């Protein structure tokens, strides 16, 4: 891994991060077109990484330079998100179906569910390919290529890493802590959207810490790993919540077609239990992740 001296300009660290993920995003395009395994996911992650870094380290960039880039990356993430979300839902629900008793797994309702999931992915994939042939896609990919080749570094990027970077990562952490507090303070019935917001904040902390690994090494990596643990448990909660919503939608379709809904009820109960377990696990995960030892390097 390429390293950056702590006394080097902060722009050197940011340029390394932006260049790496811009290149990763652009390089993933042929695999997405070929429908290779996990290609859409990896390309979407690169888009999210870039957008997160632009936001976290905005003070190091030319004022106003990221507005158009943010629009392009948000659009890319949305276009890639539909097939990825359909892919995740299909894999998750089909895996759960396979664990049901045979009479439920082979029921007419289960057939309706499997058919619906396959159709959602096929439609989302077709829409993605259509977008990939359009002008908006070409503009977005050009913007990403230019970002990687010449990041719009501003005067703040000349400040040494040790002075410029820790305050920006601390700000991302404080945002996460506020969102976690809000989620803990909410009633269980109101917590899901707040937990999802906390998940996004955890992801931003993770990405910010990973961006700092070339300069801060294991210290930054440890914080990134703690943030990823938060992201994972909250991701499990969000996936369970989304699955419940999907099951409710398709159950209505099945009932309208005269199919059995027992499989839907069994799966929905499973996902409710999964969400509850994730909420309980999140509290313990936060207790560990929020220990000050993981952020000592930010106080230097």
- Whole-model pTM: value is 0.94
Q: What DSSP string describes 174-236?
A: HHHHHHHHHHHHS-GGGHHHHHHHHHHHHHHHHHHHHHHHHHHTHHHHHHHHHHHHHHHHHHH
Superfamily of structural domain 10-299: CHAD domain (1.40.20.10)
CB 196, CB 239: distance < 8 Å: no
Measured between alpha carbons, how far is residue 90 from residues 50, 99, 172, 177 in Å?
A: 27, 15, 33, 33
Q: Where are the domains of the chain?
A: 10-299
299 band by pLDDT with thresholds 50, 70 and 90: confident
Distance CA 116, CA 122 (A): 10
Q: What is the pLDDT of residues 217-274, one digit of tens each?
A: 999 999 999 999 999 999 999 999 999 999 999 999 899 989 999 999 999 999 999 9
> Is the pLDDT score of 288 beyond 80?
yes
Which ranges constitute the DSSP H helices of 133-160?
135-149
CB 208, CB 52: distance < 8 Å: yes
> Dihedral of the CA atoms 207, 213, 219, 222 (nearest 10)?
40
The stretch 155-161 carries a mean pLDDT of: 97
The region that residue 151 occupies, defined by phi over 0 for left and psi between -120 and 50 for alpha, beta otherwise, is beta
Distance CA 268, CA 84 (A): 21
**Tell me, what's the pLDDT at 64?**
81
Distance CA 111, CA 113 (A): 5
* Residue in the block written with tokens 């998940």: 199
Q: What is the pLDDT of residues 45-99, one digit of tens each?
A: 999 999 999 999 999 999 888 888 999 999 999 999 999 999 999 999 999 999 9
**Tell me, what's the pLDDT at 300?**
65
């Amino acid at each position: 891994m390429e390293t950056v001296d702590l006394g080097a300009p902060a722009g050197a660290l940011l340029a390394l991060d932006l260049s790496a993920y811009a290149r990763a995003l652009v390089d993933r395009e042929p695999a997405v077109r070929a429908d290779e395994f996990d290609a859409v996911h990896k390309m979407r992650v690169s888009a999210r990484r870039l957008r997160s870094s632009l936001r976290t380290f905005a003070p190091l960039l030319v004022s106003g330079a990221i507005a158009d880039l943010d629009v392009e990356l948000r659009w890319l993430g949305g276009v890639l998100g539909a097939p990825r979300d359909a892919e995740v839902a299909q894999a998750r629900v089909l895996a759960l179906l396979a664990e049901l008793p045979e009479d439920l797994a082979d029921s007419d309702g289960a057939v309706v569910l499997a058919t619906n999931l396959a159709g959602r992915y096929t439609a989302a994939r077709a829409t993605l390919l259509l977008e990939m042939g359009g002008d908006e896609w070409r503009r977005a990919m050009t913007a990403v290529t230019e970002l990687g080749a010449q990041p719009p570094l501003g005067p703040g990027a000349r400040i040494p890493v040790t002075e410029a970077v820790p305050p920006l990562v601390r700000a991302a952490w404080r945002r996460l802590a506020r969102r976690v507090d809000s989620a803990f303070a909410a009633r269980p019935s109101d917590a899901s959207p707040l937990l999802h917001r906390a998940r996004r904040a955890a992801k931003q902390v993770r990405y910010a810490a990973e961006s700092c690994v070339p300069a801060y090494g294991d210290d930054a990596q440890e914080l990134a790993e703690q943030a990823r643990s938060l992201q994972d448990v909250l991701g499990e909660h969000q996936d369970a919540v989304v699955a419940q919503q999907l099951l409710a939608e398709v159950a209505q379709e099945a009932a309208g077609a005269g199919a059995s809904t027992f499989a839907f009820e069994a799966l929905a109960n499973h996902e409710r239990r999964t969400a509850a377990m994730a909420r309980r696990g999140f509290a313990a995960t936060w207790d560990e992740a929020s220990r000050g030892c993981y952020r000592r390097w930010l106080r230097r």
